[in-house]
Structure 1
């Protein structure tokens, strides 16, 4: 993987694909990895203001709050601090929003590169994100075209004969992270090229599933809210907040959870809400119909 030097400052008037092919000789099967920031600059997604001024329009819902930090699920379905709005490597007083449709941006770059060079490459658009349970950040793929973004190993066996059940390497994210390593954050090299994995590159007429296919649907993730936010949302009991808690739990699972909280209506209602039930549903589901509750286990 290499990161060419010499790209100029990208603006809304830049032909990003032309600048890329001028900086590096591409071959069929290469993967071109581009930061979302230069894609956004080329697409006119720079505006004056600060993060707070754009946060609401870029947010689907708040995931967690901790002091001045707000983690949200943004309009692309990505869970990021400040919705992925960036104020670095841009003029003071300006911010950069993520591309409107990063997968479409990747498709456009891929086609334009082919028009200019005749080569069939894949394109990955990246952005930086934190990770739950881990300090530091790494780049992930937020857009992709012409790339097998994940490799499903389910059903294969390892060298010991064990069947792999849920092994699904997110190769688009692995490529994004490797590209960040060679580009550097302050090197002024927003593009990297991976060579040697042509097996992941799809034919020109096949754009692939895109990076959006790696985003779990809302409610499918076990951590739809941060710890503090989950308590507040469950107690508030707004039906618009319930989807992030996931599918309705089985009655036995809810019974186990209720056994861990005091036999007090507000607490029980919040636990029911977080499990996709109402307290009234739970009470009606009891065998005697009288709303019997499991004993509280402190």
Structure 2
């Protein structure tokens, strides 16, 4: 059985506050036991760290952004400085005074480790700690909470090598249990209830041994180029047309030569052939070369040689 509860009566968090003082002194009481998972909203972590700024939200978003993923009107999805793909870089203008913005914590995994160690010292318990934040999802309406910081928790429950009830081997199933717990915690905390701490009991099997903080929530981030949706549909087209070498890694590793040959033949109608590991495109139509270059770029290939009668393509990375 899993139990989830959020202590009531937690006061306003301000810069320099000790979050554990607020948690352990909550008027409704908190009795922690080994194996509990303590979830803390990123908002109160940011407030305690002094990540509240006076200024323009758009300017803060630019500073917190590492790479644009997609933009639709005023909405931007970006990879922020923490490596999170998130709307507006995680910069929030709610739950703060007008004219101020709230940035995400400086290092959520480090904060989770500090809080976990503090609870071990002050409450003599071995618990896991999650720092949670709200995010949208591709293909789905609405938002849910996920883990942006973690300590003492097995954040992925890898099922590779296990067998289901029908005898089928599981290869890629790996529930993101840290995110599942964060979403469950939000059900108890709510958005407007001023309950920034949530305790989840019943999944002690996911809690690591004392002193073992685990890989943190950073382990849930896909490497650049490994995500099939590293750019929005419009942005992918514009990036391919620009053929910026620094952005090519977002499209992932190069496809094999045979697959590229099939693609370019279909797109250009040109004579496309393998040439000593490279791909040669021969056509009397100059437009075929332009199409081939753009398509090749998006599939991890670049022009190695060009003359009036053909272009020769090679993988961007060996």
TM-score by length of 1: 0.93
Which residue in 2 is equivalent to 1:168?
A: 174
The equivalent position to 1:268 in structure 2, one of 273, 276, 292, is 292
C-alpha deviation, 1:291, in angstroms:
4.2
The equivalent position to 1:11 in structure 2, one of 14, 30, 36, is 14
Structure 1 residue 142 and structure 2 residue 145: aligned? no
Which residue in 1 is equivalent to 2:278?
A: none
- CA distance in structure 2 between the aligned counterparts of 1:97 and 1:70, rounded to whole angstroms: 16
Higher strand share: 2
C-alpha deviation, 1:264, in angstroms:
2.8
C-alpha deviation, 1:259, in angstroms:
3.2
- CA distance in structure 2 between the aligned counterparts of 1:67 and 1:124, rounded to whole angstroms: 33
**Count of equivalent residues:** 288
What is the 5 A alignment of 1:1-298? 1-23=4-26, 24-262=30-268, 263-280=287-304, 290-291=310-311
- CA distance in structure 2 between the aligned counterparts of 1:68 and 1:260, rounded to whole angstroms: 37
Q: Secondary structure at the match of 1:249?
A: coil
**1:259/1:68 CA distance change after superposition, 3 Å:** farther
- CA distance in structure 2 between the aligned counterparts of 1:273 and 1:114, rounded to whole angstroms: 52
Which residue in 1 is equivalent to 2:284?
A: none
Please tell me whether the aligned partners of residues 21 and 113 of structure 1 are also in contact (alpha carbons under 8 angstroms).
no
Please tell me whether the aligned partners of residues 155 and 163 of structure 1 are also in contact (alpha carbons under 8 angstroms).
yes
Between 98-107 and 43-52, the greater mean CA deviation after superposition: 43-52
C-alpha deviation, 1:265, in angstroms:
2.8
How big is each residue's C-alpha offset from its partner over 1:46-73, in whole Å with a ceiling of 9 and x where there is no partner? 1012321112221111001111111101
Structure 2 gaps of 5+ residues are 269-286, 314-318
- CA distance in structure 2 between the aligned counterparts of 1:143 and 1:191, rounded to whole angstroms: 14
C-alpha deviation, 1:269, in angstroms:
1.4
C-alpha deviation, 1:12, in angstroms:
1.0
Note the aligned Cα RMSD (angstroms). Answer: 1.7
Structure 1 gaps of 5+ residues are 294-298
TM-score by length of 2: 0.87
- CA distance in structure 1 between the aligned counterparts of 2:304 and 2:292, rounded to whole angstroms: 10
Which residue in 2 is equivalent to 1:296?
A: none
- Bigger Rg, which one: 2
Please tell me whether the aligned partners of residues 304 and 312 of structure 2 are also in contact (alpha carbons under 8 angstroms).
no
